Amino acid sequence: MVKSDDGPIGLVAALVRSSFLVNAVYAESGREHGLTPQQGQLLCVLMARPYGMSELGATLRLAKSSLTGLVDRTERNGLVQREPDPQDTRAVRVSLTPQGSKLADAFYTETCRRIEQLPGGLSPAERDALAGLLGRVVLENEVPPVFLGPGEGGASGAHGH
């Protein structure tokens, strides 16, 4: 929806405002599933496979203490579990519980549906162009794969987010 009094939006404002828009959808979908935005991100990342704590911290760009608190709270809710890392007996991996996997799938599906509707006023060609350009920005800035869209790879049987 473009307001006539808004005028053209520059690149910086467009990127910043689009991130607010996506974050608002993500937060709203999370609230409806009883998740904070950070818990939603954690579940989506873990849909692909279990992660070690240091790898998870780097992917989510969280300090160790913040990540530990997030995993603790999500574990108390029965959505994730810590398990020994088979490659390193001193380390643990975090994985989804069956309840967490079910919730992650529901949250992911609903979030994708809502975000897919955001560029509803664009033609298929414009949507493809937008995806291509934003995809290049993401790849050039080495954004970790916190969230992958449907069909964008990942582990078999998982969405790969």
What is the domain partition of the chain in residue ranges? 35-140
The model's pLDDT over 89-145, given as tens digits with 9 standing for 90+, comes to 888 999 999 999 999 999 999 999 999 999 999 999 999 999 999 999 999 998 877
What's residue 5's pLDDT? Answer: 56
Q: What is the CATH number of domain 35-140?
A: 1.10.10.10
What's residue 145's pLDDT? Answer: 75
What are the helix (H) ranges across the chain? 11-32, 37-46, 53-60, 64-76, 98-117, 124-140
Does position 152 have pLDDT exceeding 70, yes or no?
no
The model's pLDDT over 13-28, given as tens digits with 9 standing for 90+, comes to 999 999 999 999 989 9
Q: Which two tokens stand for residue 34?
A: 């009883």
Q: 3-state class of 89 per DSSP?
A: strand
What's residue 136's pLDDT? Answer: 94
Contact 78, 100 (CB under 8 A): yes
Residue whose token pair is 């809710």: 77
The model's pLDDT over 49-76, given as tens digits with 9 standing for 90+, comes to 999 999 999 999 999 999 999 999 999 9
For 39, counting Cβ atoms within 10 Å of its Cβ (0-12 exposed, 13-18 middle, 19+ buried), the class is buried
